[in-house]
């Protein structure tokens, strides 16, 4: 997406109107397909996506947080780069490079945020991260065409990036910890799918909510007027996500086994519990270790 936005040839195509037949037809087909998929999965004896997973409050809340977090990221990458080029006069290369602080903060902060969430629980990091993300979006809404990068653009990106760094790793960890071991792959797939969906929703809905479409992206004045509205809406969604995290995510969500999870030692057969030290780490401690062939040093002859 970033490559498309920063390419002088591909940027700002003539988008169809939201009310045109093609858009309405695509939306109707998408909704019908989603409904049919849900119905099939609900009735299937072996569903690809067990809908019962969403009965877990931890799983449902964490997936909603993932959706909102990546929607905020997608909205910023799309609209913010457009705003920098059209309203602030940045070149395509400058606009793309301007967002590097977000990437750097994600690289630096994601690992420590995961360790903190493991130590104190995910609720506080998720709540604080969502609040920081919303604050960064509100700071972006205050940027004016005459503002400099260091004074206005960089601080908003720094706060926004710090919030994302605090959010992303604990979200993934909470999603995986909220289901039993046999569903961890499905949980990861749901997390990834909703992350991509959030970005697409932001790209499609935020400009529309801010009154931006078509040639508005070529008008510096119209984009400067619509961009703060879009960022304010995204900030409101981030603050709602913070409230959701605070009220629904448990402090011990990463430490408690998910419902239905069994200890591996009791689930493995005795033959599997034996291991060869050369082959790798033992799967479980053997309940009846074989006696050593060497005599004990403290035995008397």
Give the tens place of pLDDT for each residue, 209-219: 888 887 888 89
Q: Is residue 275 part of a domain?
A: no
CA distance 95 to 5: 9
Q: Which residue has the higher pLDDT, 18 or 254?
A: 254
pLDDT digits (tens, 9 = 90+) for 135-181: 999 999 999 988 899 999 999 999 999 999 999 899 988 888 888 88
Q: Is residue 224 part of a domain?
A: yes
Does residue 209 lie within any of the structural domains?
Answer: yes
Please report the pLDDT score of residue 260 as a whole number: 47
Distance CA 43, CA 284 (A): 37
What's the structural domain count of the chain? Answer: 1
Supply the CATH number for residue 191's domain.
Answer: 1.20.1250.20
| Domain region containing 175 | 73-248
**pLDDT value for 16:** 55
- Per-residue pLDDT, averaged over 79-103, amounts to 92
Q: Tally Cβ neighbours within 10 Å of residue 285.
A: 9
Q: At a CB cut-off of 8 Å and minimum separation 6, what does 270 contact?
A: 286, 287, 288
Q: Does any domain span residue 178?
A: yes
Tell me what the pLDDT averaged over the chain comes to.
80
CB 128 within 8 A of CB 113: no
State percent of the chain over pLDDT 90.
36
C-alpha atoms less than 13 angstroms from C-alpha of 198 in its C-beta half-sphere? 23
Amino acid 127: pLDDT: 94
Structural domain contains residue 87: yes
DSSP category for residue 299: -
What's the pLDDT score for residue 267?
Answer: 46
pLDDT tens string 240-261: 999 999 999 988 878 765 544 4
Residue 283 placed within a domain: no
Cα dihedral 59, 107, 7, 143, rounded to 10, equals: 80
Query: In whole angstroms, how far apart are CA 125 and each of 92, 139, 162?
Result: 34, 21, 11
Q: pLDDT by residue (tens digit) across 271-282?
A: 444 444 444 444
Q: Which two tokens stand for residue 233?
A: 């809406």
DSSP 289: P
pTM recorded for the entire structure: 0.73
89-110 mean pLDDT: 92
Given phi > 0 = left and psi -120 to 50 = alpha, else beta, which region is 288? Answer: beta
What pLDDT shows up at residue 18?
Answer: 58
Asked, for residue 48, whether it belongs to a domain, the answer is: no
End-to-end Cα distance, the chain: 77
277 contacts: CB under 8 Å, gap ≥ 6: none
Q: Is residue 140 part of a domain?
A: yes
The secondary structure of 193-226 as a DSSP string is HHHHHHHHHHHHHHHHHTT--GGGGG-HHHHHHH
pLDDT confidence bin for 40, thresholds 50/70/90: confident
Higher pLDDT, 287 or 183: 183
């Amino acid at each position: 997406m970033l490559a498309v936005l920063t390419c002088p040839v591909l940027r700002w195509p003539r988008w169809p109107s939201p009310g045109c037949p093609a858009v309405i037809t695509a939306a109707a087909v998408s909704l019908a397909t989603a409904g049919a998929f849900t119905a099939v999965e609900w009735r299937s004896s072996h569903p690809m996506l067990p809908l019962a997973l969403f009965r877990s409050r931890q799983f449902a809340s964490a997936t909603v947080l993932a959706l909102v977090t990546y929607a905020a990221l997608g909205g910023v990458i799309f609209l913010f780069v457009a705003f920098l080029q059209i309203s602030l006069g940045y070149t395509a290369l400058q606009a793309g490079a301007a967002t590097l602080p977000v990437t750097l903060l994600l690289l630096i902060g994601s690992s420590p945020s995961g360790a903190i969430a493991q130590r104190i629980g995910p609720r506080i990091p998720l709540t604080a991260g969502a609040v920081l993300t919303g604050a960064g979006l509100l700071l972006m809404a205050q940027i004016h065409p005459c503002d400099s990068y260091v004074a206005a653009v960089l601080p908003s990106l720094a706060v926004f990036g710090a919030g994302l760094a605090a959010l992303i790793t604990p979200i993934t960890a909470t999603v995986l910890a909220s289901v039993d071991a046999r569903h961890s792959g499905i949980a990861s797939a749901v997390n990834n799918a909703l992350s991509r969906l959030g970005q697409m929703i932001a790209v499609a809905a935020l400009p529309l909510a801010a009154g931006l479409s078509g040639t508005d992206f070529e008008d510096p004045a119209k984009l400067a007027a619509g961009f703060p509205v879009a960022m304010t809406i995204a900030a409101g969604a981030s603050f709602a996500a913070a409230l959701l995290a605070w009220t629904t995510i448990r402090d011990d969500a990463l430490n408690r086994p998910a419902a239905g999870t069994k200890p591996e030692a009791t689930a493995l057969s005795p033959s599997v519990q034996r291991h060869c030290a050369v082959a790798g780490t033992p799967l479980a401690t053997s309940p009846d270790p074989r006696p050593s062939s060497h005599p004990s040093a403290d035995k008397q002859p």
